[in-house]
């Protein structure tokens, strides 16, 4: 039992660290020491709490007080008022947007009410650099149970029974994947953790590695025992320096505690882990491309079969799972497959972590049971659309996914339902859009990304995505024809059916889904030379309304190209030939006299 009466937890995830949360930790420790409380109060740097919109976050236990948007200079008042006098600092408490009421307990916050943290169970609760804190929360007990009480076959059966499906995109049954790797013979086998998180707006795996790296170390060792591998590799983006640093320490500490290396827990089982760095290539999220990259080759996918379970790293049987999939493994083994089966839907068991971003009030990292609806995620947990705007669409599954609309809000989120709607689960990116977003422009953004990230090995992806991007460019510039729109459909379907790997095959999804659900918007760009959302610069024009302009000259003074003319206290006019459509006048006008069409 801890000797401390209180614990102060400070978010140490990348987002909060970039906002000086480590300075908050130092300031809290200094002020606690100044008040002679260092023997009663412990300050801990943790992983991500999830509520990134309101970071840096400071949480005080045991009373569960949740302070948001804390600055380093706030440390003094937290110590003097809360820790010394027992008075909560109201100005730092979270306030619900709808009521402006202060909430001092995270359990009562809408953001957390419908969440269930399984993969994220330790993030925000423990110091990720302290192996003893992980052990105190049942860490490495699952590994011990596997090595002492279970055969490799029983471990695999438990994983199969749990219904856990891969959280990296395809949703393949994890236990079945492990079974294939075990049954394939080889003098050497490998366990690979895919931490190459390349989707725009996605940060699920990074947060788990930053906040709970030992769960991945433990899970990889369990997998190694199950499939008969003694070597593990983590393929991680070099752009994740904090995650790399904490994972390196976790591996080092696990070795020192005898939980990695030779003869783990006197079981005769050997297993160790090595880190391999990726170069930020999106295609290396595909398992065969990832394996080639680790071997020092170009990160290009190969045709399957053979699957990695048969011939993977250096031609040996290899099991590849992503970070979130592995994060579920220890808790499944400890609590049992039957417990995990009670969470989620019939064909999609457990929870899913999503990176909620875009035009939403509560940007952050969330974890919900499979089957939770999009409406619950966006409007309950996410707090609705920013600035009271109208919801328009949500892109799930990153560049490989599709856009879902208002009609889809009551869709339960799971692998099969999202596929049926023309989207996919993917790794868990979820980007929300409002009425001001132009859907052809959104499709163009994703196509430009996949075009840049294509490995170039197959023609449908290498050339096809470029042609799609060119067609979308014509659409957003008002230069396309109806024949071009038909070509968009045909080319998208061709790429989907002929590309070599899953990433190429799903690249057209943003185009196909937006054409399906926002066809009228495409037609408006082509037939009317008009962007209904007012976002496509080439189709945009600014006008000054005579009845509202008072001649204050504010607009003409900020125009960088002197396109606005008019005398003081007289109606001003915009010269359309000079206007570069920068929007400076629109932003500056206080009288809503400038409109854009």
**pLDDT, tens digit (0-9, with 9 covering 90-100), for 439-449:** 999 999 999 99
What residues contact 27, with CB distance under 8 A and at least 6 apart?
72, 73, 75, 76
- Residues 94-111 have a mean pLDDT of 81
C-alpha–C-alpha distance, residues 419 and 354, integer Å? 17
pLDDT at 284: 86
C-alpha–C-alpha distance, residues 269 and 266, integer Å? 8
CATH 3.90.1150.10 fits 6-111, yes or no: no
Domain boundaries, the chain: 6-111, 131-341, 351-434, 439-527, 541-596
Q: What is the DSSP letter of 581?
A: -
Reported confidence tier of residue 85, pLDDT bands at 50, 70, 90: very high
Which has the higher per-residue pLDDT, 288 or 426?
Answer: 288
C-alpha–C-alpha distance, residues 547 and 553, integer Å? 15
| pLDDT of 102 above 90 | no
Q: What is the DSSP letter of 2?
A: -
- Residues 116-123 have a mean pLDDT of 96
C-alpha–C-alpha distance, residues 374 and 396, integer Å? 10
Q: Note whether 495 and 502 are within 8 A (CB).
A: no
Reported confidence tier of residue 2, pLDDT bands at 50, 70, 90: low
CA atoms within 13 A on the CB side of 549: 24
- Residues 429-445 have a mean pLDDT of 93
Q: Note whether 377 and 366 are within 8 A (CB).
A: yes
C-alpha–C-alpha distance, residues 61 and 64, integer Å? 5
| pLDDT of 238 above 90 | no
C-alpha–C-alpha distance, residues 541 and 560, integer Å? 16
Domain 351-434: top CATH class? alpha beta
Beta bridge partners of 285: none
Q: Do domains 131-341 and 439-527 have the same CATH topology?
A: no
Question: What is the chain's length?
Answer: 597
- Residues 208-216 have a mean pLDDT of 97
Bridge-based pairing state of the strands 429-434 and 351-358: parallel
Between the CA of residue 506 and those of 183, 246, 320, 492, 494, what are the distances in Å? 31, 33, 20, 9, 11
Is residue 495 packed enough to be buried (19+ CB in 10 Å), middle (13-18) or exposed (0-12)? buried
Both tokens of residue 544?
């000054």
Q: Note whether 38 and 49 are within 8 A (CB).
A: no
pLDDT at 390: 95
pLDDT at 1: 45
Domain 131-341 fold is Rossmann fold (3.40.50)
DSSP letters for 270-324: -BEEEEEEE-S-GGGGSHHHHHHHHTTS------SSSPTTTS-GGGS-EEEEEHH
C-alpha–C-alpha distance, residues 472 and 450, integer Å? 13
C-alpha–C-alpha distance, residues 364 and 187, integer Å? 44
Per-residue pLDDT tens over the stretch 485-541? 999 999 999 999 999 888 888 889 999 999 999 999 999 999 999 999 988 988 988
Bridge-based pairing state of the strands 391-396 and 272-278: unpaired
C-alpha–C-alpha distance, residues 56 and 370, integer Å? 29
Name the average pLDDT for the chain.
93
Per-residue b or e along 160-191, where b marks 16 or more CB atoms closer than 10 Å to that residue's CB: bbbbbbbbbbebebbbebbbbbbebebeebbb
Q: Note whether 499 and 473 are within 8 A (CB).
A: no
Per-residue pLDDT tens over the stretch 125-166? 999 999 999 999 999 999 999 999 999 999 999 999 999 999
| pLDDT of 55 above 60 | yes
pLDDT at 47: 95
pLDDT at 419: 86
| pLDDT of 313 above 90 | yes
DSSP letters for 381-416: IS-SBGGGPPEEEEEESGGGSEEE-GGGTT-B-SHH
pLDDT at 453: 86
Distance from chain centroid for Cα 158: 28
| pLDDT of 106 above 80 | no
Within 10 angstroms of residue 73's Cβ, the number of other Cβ atoms is 11
Both tokens of residue 164?
């856990």
What residues contact 514, with CB distance under 8 A and at least 6 apart?
393, 402, 403, 439, 440, 442, 443, 521, 522
CATH 3.40.430.10 fits 541-596, yes or no: no
| pLDDT of 264 above 80 | yes
**H/E element, 168:** none
Q: For the domain bounded by 439-527, which CATH number is listed?
A: 1.20.1440.230
Q: Which one, of 147, 218, 171, lies nearest residue 401 by Cα?
A: 171
Q: Which one, of 336, 353, 367, lies nearest residue 142 by Cα?
A: 336
C-alpha–C-alpha distance, residues 226 and 456, integer Å? 36
Q: Taking CA 11 as the corner, what is the angle to CA 9 and CA 12, rounded to the nearest 5 degrees?
A: 120
Give the predicted TM-score (pTM) of the model.
0.91
- Residues 38-51 have a mean pLDDT of 94
Crossing angle of helices 464-476 and 482-498, rounded to 10°: 150
Reported confidence tier of residue 49, pLDDT bands at 50, 70, 90: very high
3-class secondary structure, 231: strand
Reported confidence tier of residue 400, pLDDT bands at 50, 70, 90: confident
Query: What share of the chain in percent tops pLDDT 90?
Result: 80
3-class secondary structure, 344: strand
């Amino acid at each position: 039992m801890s000797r401390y009466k209180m614990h102060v937890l400070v978010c140490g995830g990348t987002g909060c660290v970039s906002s000086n949360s480590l300075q908050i930790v130092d300031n809290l420790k200094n002020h606690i020491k100044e008040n002679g409380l260092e023997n009663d109060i412990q300050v801990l740097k943790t992983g991500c709490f999830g509520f990134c919109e309101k970071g840096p976050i400071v949480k005080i236990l045991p009373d569960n007080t949740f302070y948001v948007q804390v600055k380093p200079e706030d440390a003094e008042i937290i110590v003097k008022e809360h820790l010394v006098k027992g008075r909560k600092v109201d100005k730092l408490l979270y306030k619900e947007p709808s009521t402006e009421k202060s909430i001092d307990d995270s359990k009562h916050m809408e953001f957390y009410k419908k969440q269930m943290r399984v993969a994220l169970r330790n993030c925000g609760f423990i110091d990720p650099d302290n192996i003893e804190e992980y052990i105190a929360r049942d860490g490495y007990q699952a590994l011990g149970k596997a090595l002492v009480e279970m055969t490799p076959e029983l471990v695999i059966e438990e994983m199969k029974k749990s219904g856990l499906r891969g959280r990296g995109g395809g949703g393949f049954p994890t236990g079945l994947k492990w079974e294939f790797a075990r049954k394939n013979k080889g003098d050497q086998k490998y366990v690979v953790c895919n931490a190459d998180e390349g989707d725009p707006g996605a940060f699920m795996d990074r947060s788990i590695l930053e906040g709970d790296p030992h769960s991945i170390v433990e899970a990889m060792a369990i997998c190694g025992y199950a499939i008969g591998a003694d070597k593990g590799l983590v393929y991680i983006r070099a752009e994740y320096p904090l995650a790399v640093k904490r994972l390196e320490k976790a591996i080092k500490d696990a070795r020192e505690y005898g939980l990695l290396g030779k003869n783990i827990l006197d079981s005769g089982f050997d297993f160790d882990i090595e880190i391999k760095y990726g170069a930020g290539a999106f295609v290396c999220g595909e398992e065969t491309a990832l394996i080639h990259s680790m071997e020092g080759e170009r990160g290009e996918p190969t045709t399957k079969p053979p699957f990695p379970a048969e011939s993977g790293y250096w031609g040996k049987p290899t099991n590849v799972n992503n970070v979130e999939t592995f994060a579920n493994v220890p808790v499944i083994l400890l609590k049992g497959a039957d417990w995990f089966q009670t969470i989620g839907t019939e064909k999609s068991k457990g929870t899913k972590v999503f990176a909620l971003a875009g035009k939403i009030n509560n940007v952050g990292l969330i974890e919900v049971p499979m089957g939770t609806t999009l409406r619950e995620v966006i409007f309950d947990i996410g707090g609705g659309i920013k600035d009271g705007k109208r919801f328009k669409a949500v892109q799930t599954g990153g560049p490989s996914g599709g856009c879902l609309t208002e009609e889809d809000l009551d869709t339960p989120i799971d692998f099969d339902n999202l596929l049926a709607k023309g989207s996919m689960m993917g790794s868990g990116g979820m980007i929300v859009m409002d009425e001001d977003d132009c859907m052809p422009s959104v499709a163009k953004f994703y196509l430009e990304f996949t075009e840049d990230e294509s490995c170039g090995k197959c023609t449908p992806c290498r050339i096809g995505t470029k042609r799609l991007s060119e067609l979308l460019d014509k659409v957003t510039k008002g230069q396309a024809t109806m024949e071009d729109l038909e070509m968009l459909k045909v080319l998208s379907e061709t790429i989907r059916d002929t590309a070599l790997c899953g990433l190429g095959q799903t690249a057209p999804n943003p185009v196909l889904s937006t054409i399906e659900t926002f066809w009228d918007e495409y037609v408006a760009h082509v037939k009317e030379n008009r962007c209904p959302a007012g976002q496509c610069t080439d189709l945009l024009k600014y006008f000054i309304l005579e009845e509202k302009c008072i001649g204050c000259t504010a607009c003409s003074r900020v125009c960088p190209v002197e396109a606005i003319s008019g005398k003081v206290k007289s109606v001003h006019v915009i010269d359309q030939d000079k206007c570069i459509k920068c929007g400076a006048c629109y932003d500056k006008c206080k009288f809503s006299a400038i409109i854009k069409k």
